[in-house]
Amino acid sequence: MVRGKLILIEGLDRTGKSTQCENVVNALGNDAVLIKFPDRTTKIGQLINQYLTDKDFELPAQSIHLLFSANRWELKEEIHSMLKAGKHVVLDRYVYSGVAYSAAKGIQGMDISWCFNPDKGLLKPDLTLFFSNSSNMRDREGFGEERYEKVEFQRQVRDTFFNVFDQIKDSNRIVIDVSDKSIDEVFSEIKPLIHDVINKELGECVYF
């Protein structure tokens, strides 16, 4: 059985990650499944959802960081099983969001290395597409509703993502500038990249 490929769409807030994940999964049909992080349906995911949506629900930055990571660990075996069964798994956010959003808070001791540690051992994507933008996405539907959706913090997150990429090297990561591109234009740009990884012969799964 040829294993499925692990494909991650990461990026800055409101850059169209979920929209394109759906496009990719629809295009791949029965051969692919979509997993979104945070997965707000699990017990841990429900706590994360409460933290993001209820401004009165306070947690130490370290605790919420570890919950986001625990949420990924909850699904590790399920993802691995699907890959082994030949299914492609498309991830909507993952480890890089985990590290960047927490490290961007600038809390003493919570540097990139500390933030990355609990995710070591998770499956590493065969392809990561990182959506970046030079224009502001705050006008896009829904911006500002959740805890982290503040322009100044998002700026901090953008810088931190690129610092994370300096520290966590990955030759299978590609930055896609989505500024001023329509949904169809972005999809046309990523389609051949997805096609290439799906048709690539790869060995066993790899890990962070």
Residues that bind ligand Z5A (CB under 6 A): 13-19, 37-38, 52, 68, 93, 97-98, 101, 140-141, 146, 148-149, 178, 181-183, 186
Shortest Cβ 96–ligand Z5A spacing (Å): 9
Shortest Cβ 201–Mg ion spacing (Å): 31
Question: Which residue(s) pair with 35 in the sheet?
Answer: 91
DSSP-based helix, strand, coil % in the chain, nearest 5: 50, 15, 40
Closest-CB residue for ligand Z5A?
A: 16
Tokens coding 4: 């499925």
Residue 32 DSSP code: E
| Selected range binding Mg ion among 14-22, 112-120, 138-146, 180-188, rule: CB under 5 A | 14-22
- In the complex with ligand Z5A, the residue whose CB is nearer, 69 or 87, is 69
- Beta carbons of 94 and 125 less than 8 angstroms apart: yes
Round to the nearest angstrom and report the end-to-end CA distance of the chain: 24
132 binds Mg ion (CB under 5 A): no
18 binds Mg ion (CB under 5 A): yes
Shortest Cβ 128–ligand Z5A spacing (Å): 14
- In the complex with ligand Z5A, the residue whose CB is nearer, 136 or 200, is 136
Amino acid identity of residue 23, one-letter, is N
- Beta carbons of 167 and 117 less than 8 angstroms apart: no
Shortest Cβ 106–ligand Z5A spacing (Å): 14
49 binds Mg ion (CB under 5 A): no
**Could you give the C-alpha distances from 22 to 1, 2, 29, in angstroms and in order?**
26, 24, 10
- Contacts with Mg ion by CB under 5 A lie at 17-18
